[in-house]
Amino acid sequence: MSGIMEEMILKSVASSKGFFSLLLAVTTLALGCTLAISATAEENVCVVNDAQFKVGDTLTYTLKISEAGEKFSGIDISVYYDPECLEPDRERISVPVFKNAIFNSELNGEIRFNAIDVSSGFDLTKGGTVISAPFKVKEGAKDSTDITFSVREVYGMDLEVSSSLTDYKTEVSISRGDSAGEEIVPPKDMDDAEKDILSQYDDGESGIKLQFWIIVGISALIVAAGVVLLLVIRKRNKD
C-alpha cells in the first residue's frame, strides 16, 4: 500500500513540475510579446519640439509675434522642418497678418514666405499670428525633431531697419491636430502670384507677356547695337 502511495506522490510531483514549467514558459512568452509590442510602440513615437506624437498624427505649428515697436512694411521669414519626419499640409498653411504673402512651394524642408505693404503696413504692435502650419508625422520618423524659424529681414514703414523693429517677442506653440482654424489666409504660390500680376495688366489681346517680350527685344537690340558700335570704334582706332 505504501508503495502505491509513494508512486502516486511521485507522479503528482512530476505533474506539478511539468505544470510549473509550462506556466513559466507561457509567462516568459507573454512577457516577451509585451516587451516587443512596447518597443514597437516606442519606435512609432516622434517628439516634436518637446511634444510627443505618433506616426500618422497631425500637429500644428504656430508662430506669433507681439510687442513690435512699430508697423512692418515687409518681412522675409522661413520655417524649417525635417522632410523625413514631417509633411506639411500646404493647403492649410495660414498667414493671417500677412494677407498678401508669397511663398515658394518648391522648397523641401522649408516654408519660406515674404510680404510687403508700404501703404498700410502690418500691425503687430498688439500681437498676431505670423504663420500657422499643420504637419503630419511620417512613417519612419526619427525619435525626435524640431520645427524652427528664422526672420531674415523686417522693414519699417520708412523701409529702414531700426532697433524698434527687432525688439519684439516671439511665441512658438505645437498643438495636437489641425488647429489652423476655418478661416485660412493662405500665402500665394509664386506661380499664382505671377498669374495675378499678368491678369492685372492683360490688354485683352496679347497681354503683358507680349509687352514683356517687346521690352526684352528692344533691350537686346540696344545691347547688340552697343556691341557693334564698340567693335567699329576699335577697328577705326587700329586703322
pLDDT one-digit tens code per residue, 71-125 = 899 999 999 999 999 999 999 999 999 988 998 878 999 999 999 998 999 999 8
Q: Using alpha carbons, select from 78, 208, 68 the residue that is nearest to residue 124.
A: 68
| pLDDT for the residue 232 | 47
pTM of the model: 0.65
Q: Calculate mean pLDDT across residues 169-180.
A: 90
Which of 73 and 39 is assigned the larger pLDDT?
A: 73
| pLDDT for the residue 108 | 92
| pLDDT for the residue 96 | 92
CA–CA distance, 225 with 227 (Å, rounded to integer): 5
Query: For residues 143-157, b (16+ Cβ closer than 10 Å) or e, as one string?
Result: eebebeeebeebbbb
Q: Calculate mean pLDDT across residues 36-65.
A: 82
| pLDDT tens track for 122-137 | 999 899 999 999 999 9
| pLDDT for the residue 199 | 62
Q: Calculate mean pLDDT across residues 204-231.
A: 52
- Tell me what the pLDDT averaged over the chain comes to: 75
Indicate the CATH number for domain 51-188. 2.60.40.680
Q: What 3-state DSSP class applies to 153?
A: strand
Q: How far is CA 74 from the centre of its chain?
A: 21
Q: Which ranges of the chain would DSSP assign to H, the alpha helix?
A: 2-43, 163-166, 190-200, 207-238
| pLDDT for the residue 22 | 39
Which uninterrupted H or E stretch holds 154?
strand 148-155
Q: Calculate mean pLDDT across residues 229-238.
A: 51
Q: Which three cell numbers stand for residue 68?
A: 513690435
Q: Calculate mean pLDDT across residues 39-60.
A: 84
Is the pLDDT at 7 greater than 80? The verdict is no
Q: CA angle, 79 as apex, 97 and 139 as ends, to 5°? A: 125
CA–CA distance, 154 with 159 (Å, rounded to integer): 9
Which of 233 and 88 is assigned the larger pLDDT?
A: 88
pLDDT band at 41 (very low <50, low <70, confident <90, very high): very low
